[in-house]
Structure 1
Amino acid sequence: MTRHLRAGLVGLGMMGRHHARILSQLPGVELVVAADPRGDPHRATRDIPIVATVEQLLSHRLDYCVVAVPTADHPTVALHLAAAGVPTLIEKPLAPDLPTARAVAEAFDAAGIIGAVGHIERYNPALQALRTRLTDGALGTVYQIATRRQGPYPPRIRDVGAVLDLATHDLDITTWITGLPLVSVTARTLARSGRIAEDLVTILGELSDGTITNHLVNWLSPLKERVTIATGSHGCLAADTVHGDLTFYANGSTRTEWAAAEVFRGVTEGDITRYAIPKREPLLGEHEAFRDAVRGEDAPIITLWQAAATIAAAEAVLTSAATGDPTTPELAQVPPATFNLAGYTLATEKPSSR
């Protein structure tokens, strides 16, 4: 009989409670301890010790750990776990800045242990289906990737702005579904909610093959929207990640004879298909992947170096917004890897700066 992996959790706040729920029911895993100096405010755990510090958590002989503390605290907790030799899954974003993200990635490389980051949108069924269809050539030549991610400000986010907390989703999604690096960004930000950090950003980008990207991200809208649209020579694919839906709008071959309709409906209009796709909880997929990676299996994890590349893109966005000029991300692509994990990579070489 295979031994259950002993898992720990650092942080029992708004996200930590969901990690606790998944870890408590994940096959092959036993959640044995959680750490949070405030205890368990959401009563997310049952019958396990709740300790105040990472040092106390490490006394429970862990096989791996999940970190769900504020972004500013990610590096301290992650470096402590790396020094202890504990494989770790860290909530996104990996760190508040690129030098710190690099330091965390280097620490896990030096320790020879797996580290991963919870860019949860990669596990959304709508985006997984969109990526598969892009890979299969469903859109022909891809022209544009556009995203909209907006909704009310979440009070739990206090240490970073909309770029690091929200736009990192879209920056990561875009390079992941296309397999192409982001080579240029131009951005503008606003701060209107009374917070120091920005709460609205609009980003225009370019991928290495010339594909145009644009992202609208904010905490200022009462409309909650999570949409990714890929447009190409055969039509467009629209992923609604709130509901896990993927819809294909095909370019049509039938000529429109009604001139007024043609004006409003575009040059061509074909069939519209909403795909029936399995809809599994993205957080469950994220945990399954990391569990399997800890077991030594091929698994679709997001490596620390991949997450560092996303931090680099976010910093380029902030730089462009501050200067008004286009900016090239310092890390434009994931570094080479020595082996693949089901189409993803575990990076074992450090990326060089551009």
Structure 2
Amino acid sequence: MAELRVGLIGVGMMGRHHARVIRETEGVTLAGVADEAGDPRRSAGDAPIHRTVGELIASGIDAAVVAVPTQAHEAIALELADAGVHALVEKPITVDIESGTRVVDAFEKAGLVGAVGHIERYNPALQSLRQRIDAGELGDVYQIATRRQGPFPSRIADVGVVKDLATHDIDATAWLAQSLYSTVFAHVSSRSGRAHEDMVSAAAQLENGIITNHLVNWLSPMKERITVVTGERGAFVADTVSADLTFFENGTFSMEWESVMAFRGVSEGTVTRFALNKREPLRVEHEAFRDAILGLRSDIVTMREGLENVRVAEALLRSAAEAASVKVVR
């Protein structure tokens, strides 16, 4: 079978990583790059460099990866859909619900594979956590809490922390819980002097009753990516920086003092840190995109799911503006 010809649009901070992984992924070839600034780091190797998306499409590609600023996603994605090219678009899918809807409709109408780069789904820790939740190891799930903090990324200027960073947690939480968001409440702050928010503290409830909390900012001196899932039998803690997964089991022991026992609740039990096969999430994401195009499997983050993440993000921003709990409207 001939290899899929994949084009790359944008070879900046994220694009250069996509270029490397495309070149190393079995069954695909980096057919060309489109970037008006060229490829000064030589990330694309010997692949042809084009100044426009149109030139890249005309060179003959089966699929494309879009790794440009969010405000350019819609126009490029629609151009790809019109040309019959499958696409993996970096998150968020677009800047707002309206533009995202146009992109989703275009790809679905054309019968094309459209994916969004919510890479955390492919992190070994979260993949193992999802499997263990599905297997019933936690029992009923009560709460999912996330912390995503780190230094300010100077490359991000067109959206705030909610759409750029918190959408990772929105997507991962809905995926782990297998439920959509129902209501949200959020506070945001802008401390860096930029036009968009750089901190958010959010609480929400999913349609299946699970409650969630998200603490996200661009102003912390340390990088933290933590997801805690608490349930009937204990709590899983996933660290997606180190790709570690730890289970804190509820302890069980008898107490003679009944009045204390009644208020004690759960206790600490066995702590287990799992050994995981730590494959690079970006590589797993590209393999999923490739296999979806080939019809072998379907575990991409679809464009419709990416649109849902933007919908929740906009509900968070609306909640912060109104200082009220709001329902996620679909």
TM-score (norm 2): 0.96
Q: Which 10-residue stretch deviates more, 77-86 or 321-330?
A: 321-330
What is the total number of aligned residue pairs between the two structures? 325
**1:143/1:233 contact within 8 Å kept:** yes
Displacement of 1:266: 7.5
Answering whether residue 52 of structure 2 is matched by residue 58 of structure 1, we say: no
Q: What pairs with 1:45-124 in structure 2 (closer than 5 Å)?
A: 45-124=44-123
Q: Which 10-residue stretch deviates more, 3-12 or 293-302?
A: 293-302
Task: Give unpaired runs (5+ residues) of structure 2.
Answer: none
| 1-structure distance, mates of 2:234, 2:26 | 41
Displacement of 1:330: 2.1
Match of 1:274 in 2: 273
Deviations 1:274-300 (Å, cap 9, x if unpaired)?
A: 001110000000000011111122131
Deviations 1:100-131 (Å, cap 9, x if unpaired)?
A: 10000001112121111111000000001111
**1:118/1:302 contact within 8 Å kept:** yes
| 1-structure distance, mates of 2:255, 2:286 | 49
Match of 1:218 in 2: 217
Q: What pairs with 1:160-179 in structure 2 (closer than 5 Å)?
A: 160-179=159-178
Q: Which residue identity lines up with residue 71 of structure 1 in the other structure?
A: T
Displacement of 1:209: 2.3
Q: Per the alignment, in what secondary structure is the counterpart of residue 276 of structure 1?
A: coil
Q: Which 10-residue stretch deviates more, 83-92 or 135-144?
A: 135-144
Answering whether residue 134 of structure 2 is matched by residue 138 of structure 1, we say: no
Match of 2:318 in 1: 319
Match of 1:304 in 2: 303
Displacement of 1:267: 4.3
Q: Per the alignment, in what secondary structure is the counterpart of residue 43 of structure 2?
A: coil
Q: Which residue identity lines up with residue 61 of structure 1 in the other structure?
A: G
**1:254/1:270 contact within 8 Å kept:** no
Identity value in percent: 53
**1:255/1:268 contact within 8 Å kept:** no
Q: Per the alignment, in what secondary structure is the counterpart of residue 100 of structure 2?
A: helix
| 2-structure distance, mates of 1:159, 1:41 | 23
| 2-structure distance, mates of 1:145, 1:76 | 35
Task: Give unpaired runs (5+ residues) of structure 1.
Answer: 332-354
Displacement of 1:234: 0.7
Match of 1:342 in 2: none
Q: Which residue identity lines up with residue 142 of structure 2 in the other structure?
A: Y
Q: Which residue identity lines up with residue 28 of structure 1 in the other structure?
A: G
| 2-structure distance, mates of 1:221, 1:276 | 29
Displacement of 1:253: 0.9
**1:13/1:41 contact within 8 Å kept:** no
Match of 2:229 in 1: 230
| 2-structure distance, mates of 1:71, 1:215 | 22
Displacement of 1:60: 1.3
The runs of at least 4 aligned residues of structure 1 exceeding 6 Å deviation read none
| 2-structure distance, mates of 1:50, 1:160 | 28
Cα separation, partners in 2 of 1:291 and 1:67, compared to 1, 3 Å? same
Match of 1:250 in 2: 249
Q: Which residue identity lines up with residue 38 of structure 1 in the other structure?
A: A
Q: Per the alignment, in what secondary structure is the counterpart of residue 32 of structure 1?
A: strand
User: RMSD of the TM alignment (CA)?
Assistant: 1.5
Deviations 1:2-32 (Å, cap 9, x if unpaired)?
A: 1111110000000000000001111111101
Q: Per the alignment, in what secondary structure is the counterpart of residue 208 of structure 2?
A: coil
Q: Which residue identity lines up with residue 249 of structure 2 in the other structure?
A: A
| 2-structure distance, mates of 1:136, 1:296 | 26
| 2-structure distance, mates of 1:74, 1:267 | 48
Match of 1:153 in 2: 152
Q: Which residue identity lines up with residue 253 of structure 2 in the other structure?
A: T
TM-score (norm 1): 0.89
Deviations 1:206-240 (Å, cap 9, x if unpaired)?
A: 01122110000000100110000000121100000
Deviations 1:77-104 (Å, cap 9, x if unpaired)?
A: 0000000010111001000000110000
| 2-structure distance, mates of 1:56, 1:291 | 23
